[in-house]
Amino acid sequence: MELTDQTGQNGNFLLSLHDLKSYFHIDNNTIKAVDGINLHVRKNEILGIVGESGSGKSVTALSLLRLLPTPPCQISGEIMFQGQNLLELNERQMQDVRGGEISMIFQEPMTSLNPVLSIGYQIAESIRLHQQLNPRSAREKAIEMLNLVKIPEAARRAKQYPHEMSGGMRQRAMIAMALSSRPSLLIADEPTTALDVTTQKQILYLIKDLQSQLGTSVMFITHNLGVIAEIADKVAIMYAGKLVEYAPVHEVFYHSRHPYTLSLLHSIPRLDAAKHLKLEEIPGRVPGLGDLPQGCIFHPRCPYAKDICTQQEPSTTQVGEEHFTMCWRHQELGQFNSTRPSSSHVSTTQHEISEEMILSVNALKKYFHVKKLTFTGKTGIVKAVDGVSFDVRQGEVLGFVGESGCGKTTLGMCILRLLESTDGEILFQGRDITRLHERDFIRTRKDLQVIFQDPYGSLNPRMKIGQIIGEPLSIHKLVRSSEEKQTKVVDMLESVGLDQVYIDKYPHELSGGQRQRIAIARALIVSPKFIVCDEAVSALDVSIQAQIINLLKDLKETMNLTYLFISHDLSVVKHISDRIAIMYLGKIVELADAEKVCAFPKHPYTQALISSVPIPDPERKPAYISLKDEIPSPMNIPAGCRFHPRCPYAQEECRTTEPELRMIEPGWSVACHFADSTPGMRRDTATTQKRRGER
């Protein structure tokens, strides 16, 4: 079905895709990466494209720009852009379109920017190519673009190289480059996925603001529906190369008519949801694009599938003015949505937390000595962890949250003694493990395990899954025979939701979620007491993330585990943690019950973090607290309160005196001079002091 026939407003369309197909022909197999999609982007509109990894989002964008290798890829259909079919243009004509009329922002700016060329040179190079300006004018235009994307000291920053900028600054530079030729369409492919929530919010506001200023249309690709609720006008939901739902953003969130969309919405950990509710999982994974199921492509994972779904593929049906779906049961989904299966709302078992302290960290410090780039040869000190103290009880989950560079991961590595601390105590079950000899500590290491962020990087690619999981058993001499070892490996695979067929597979043969389950199984095989989860779900799709979070919660209850859960995502941390510690520049600035911290944050930094978390509801627009500048370098920590240069409520005392982490009520500690006052009182006081200074 052609969507244009239903809307009848072709004149407003900047871009129209008609039956777009991108097939890869490899070794007599056909991979249907994009399979007959129809969608439109209007002038001055933001279209969000959402789906799990492997759904065809990025291939759609690359097909638009004709950046896919041909062969093996064959693109067919129509890509109508400003009245011309891009598939009919020759390569020379397409070069004028790319970067000139259509620009793209990629997910990882560090791999998109040339490391040996300055930022200003790279932006000026694009300007010279598309606008035929001389080098001096192009450099001036490059600085103008850096100012436009709100990079401070643009002239100085233009001379810097990519490695000298933070992730957020690099992404701003990529946006400046993409917009330097004033394109009609900007394609943003996961531009905020690898960023902290505060930086992500700034980038979203920047794209929205620039889109309004310049009148540029945007195609925003992401797997995060919370981001889509904040920025998009219309939404396209993709699954296994198909467009399964396409509608205005409010229709998708409030009147969804496809089970996949509903499942995505229900699998998101929400900051405004009760933490005891179990996340809804989408069973299985996206099918291989070379071996798609018969009938509806979603039916093997769909909770509402019936016989017709397994036999015939549904056609695209219009269910609203601009609302289209591919589902046989779309008319019934409104009723299903109000009566979801009870398993999706089941409360998790609340395990009794012991009063016994399994871990006590006292005044822990970790300093790195680095050589400064000066002729004096002097060294600087990076204070990654600077006097941190906390306790963890047996059976508790303590979450650590903060931006990149705040010291979360360094703290976890010190507890595991993968990094040796500079000073302080780490008491594990009453013993100071910092003073243990490595030979004595190896016995304790069995009880202290870790789950890393990237399972593909932490699993040996040359070893089979059975060998990877069983290796710790041999290291710690916990089995007497290969048969006993095999039995324990099979039992552990079953515990993490996998069967024994995976024993003889290699890591590259598994999906991201399956690899993370293997990493969890490897950590649990030695029956540890304490696990550091270092961004354990950050790299996963939201549906797989829900599976892993639920698995970690279930294993905690059945095995009486204790977690130190490190993440930059407060929604995830709240859902799994009993208490949350907020870290900033090597120190804890707030520590309290998870529900309390998220509902009534006391520290301005915690308030800013919470205000930056995207909420998957286009109607809810909580007040956003914009932080000034970026997090300072831990080698040059500000005097007084470390947060004062970015704090919207900073007063004179904050600039001169560092606040201590003090208890404001039982179980709630905050490092802020004005933690007892309300944000409104702080704002009024800060404004009064500013006015006095102006006088």
Q: What is the CATH number of the domain that holds 287?
A: 3.40.50.300
- pLDDT, one tens digit per residue, over 512-530 is 778 888 999 999 999 999 9
DSSP letter for 48, please. E
Domain count within the chain: 4
Predicted local distance difference test score (pLDDT) of residue 499: 82
Q: Tell me, yes or no, whether 364 and 489 share the same domain.
A: yes
- pLDDT, one tens digit per residue, over 55-107 is 899 999 999 999 999 889 999 999 999 989 999 999 999 988 988 899 998 87
Tokens matching residue 590: 């707030």
pLDDT range class, residue 257, cuts 50, 70, 90: very high
Domain-terminating residue out of 132, 162, 182: 182
Q: Within a domain: residue 666? A: yes
Q: How far is CA 554 from CA 217, 335, 347, in A?
A: 45, 30, 11
Q: How far is CA 43 from CA 10, 63, 66, 185, 647, in A?
A: 11, 20, 21, 9, 38
Q: Within a domain: residue 664? A: yes
Q: Tell me which amino acid residue 192 is.
A: T
Q: Which of 162-171, 445-454, 496-505, 554-563 has the lowest mean pLDDT?
A: 162-171
Q: Tell me, yes or no, whether 372 and 490 share the same domain.
A: yes
Predicted local distance difference test score (pLDDT) of residue 633: 80
Predicted local distance difference test score (pLDDT) of residue 335: 65
Q: Tell me which amino acid residue 494 is.
A: E
Q: Within a domain: residue 395? A: yes
- pLDDT, one tens digit per residue, over 182-198 is 889 999 988 887 678 88
First to last CA, the chain: 68
- pLDDT, one tens digit per residue, over 326-349 is 999 998 886 655 444 333 444 455
Q: Tell me, yes or no, whether 428 and 443 share the same domain.
A: yes
Q: Tell me, yes or no, whether 83 and 207 share the same domain.
A: yes
Looking at the predicted structure, is the pLDDT value of residue 695 above 80? no
How many residues are present in the chain?
Answer: 695
Q: Within a domain: residue 444? A: yes
Q: Within a domain: residue 270? A: yes
- pLDDT, one tens digit per residue, over 493-514 is 988 888 888 899 998 888 777 8
Please compute the mean of the pLDDT values over residues 1-29 and round it to a whole number.
Answer: 74
Looking at the predicted structure, is the pLDDT value of residue 28 above 90? no
Handedness of CA 332, 333, 339, 342 (dihedral sign): positive
As a whole number, the mean pLDDT across the chain is: 86
Q: What is the CB neighbour count within 10 angstroms for residue 290?
A: 13
What is the torsion angle, in degrees rounded to the nearest 10, for the CA atoms of residue 30, residue 33, residue 35 and residue 36? -130
Q: Tell me, yes or no, whether 212 and 330 share the same domain.
A: yes
Helix (H, G, I), strand (E, B) or coil at 151: coil
Structural domain boundaries enclosing 117 = 113-182
CA–CA separation, 522 and 451 (whole Å): 9
Predicted local distance difference test score (pLDDT) of residue 21: 95
- pLDDT, one tens digit per residue, over 207-245 is 888 888 888 999 999 988 889 999 999 999 999 999 999
Q: Tell me, yes or no, whether 175 and 263 share the same domain.
A: no
Q: Tell me, yes or no, whether 117 and 92 share the same domain.
A: no
Predicted local distance difference test score (pLDDT) of residue 372: 59
Tokens matching residue 174: 């990529």
CA–CA separation, 534 and 454 (whole Å): 9
CA–CA separation, 393 and 645 (whole Å): 35
Which DSSP helix (H) or strand (E) runs through 97? helix 91-97
Strands 379-393 and 397-401: unpaired
Q: Tell me, yes or no, whether 414 and 558 share the same domain.
A: yes
Strands 73-81 and 84-85: antiparallel
Q: Tell me, yes or no, whether 66 and 120 share the same domain.
A: no
CA–CA separation, 383 and 634 (whole Å): 5
CA–CA separation, 94 and 250 (whole Å): 35
Higher pLDDT, 683 or 37: 37
- pLDDT, one tens digit per residue, over 537-592 is 887 778 888 888 988 998 998 889 999 999 988 999 999 999 999 999 999 999 99
Predicted local distance difference test score (pLDDT) of residue 523: 92
Q: Are 26 and 72 in contact (CB under 8 A)?
A: yes
Q: Which of 630, 634, 577, 570 is nearest to 601 (CA)?
A: 570
Helix (H, G, I), strand (E, B) or coil at 602: coil
Predicted local distance difference test score (pLDDT) of residue 440: 83
Domain-terminating residue out of 540, 566, 590: 590
Please compute the mean of the pLDDT values over residues 600-620 and round it to a whole number.
Answer: 91
DSSP letter for 345, please. G
Q: Tell me, yes or no, whether 411 and 509 share the same domain.
A: yes
Please compute the mean of the pLDDT values over residues 264-290 and round it to a whole number.
Answer: 83
Tokens matching residue 288: 């291989």
**Percent of the chain whose predicted confidence (pLDDT) is above 70:** 92
Higher pLDDT, 166 or 534: 534
Q: Which of 51, 56, 60, 37 is nearest to 261 (CA)?
A: 51
Q: Are 553 and 490 in contact (CB under 8 A)?
A: no
CA–CA separation, 78 and 91 (whole Å): 17
Q: Within a domain: residue 349? A: no
Domain-terminating residue out of 338, 371, 405: 338
Tokens matching residue 654: 């904050």
Q: Tell me, yes or no, whether 663 and 575 share the same domain.
A: no
Q: Which of 193, 155, 149 is nearest to 172 (CA)?
A: 149
Q: Tell me, yes or no, whether 73 and 43 share the same domain.
A: yes
CA–CA separation, 247 and 214 (whole Å): 25
- pLDDT, one tens digit per residue, over 616-659 is 889 887 788 888 777 888 888 999 999 999 998 999 999 999 99
Tokens matching residue 25: 């022909």
Q: Within a domain: residue 351? A: no
**Percent of the chain whose predicted confidence (pLDDT) is above 90:** 50
Q: Within a domain: residue 676? A: yes
Higher pLDDT, 279 or 358: 358
CA–CA separation, 586 and 637 (whole Å): 10
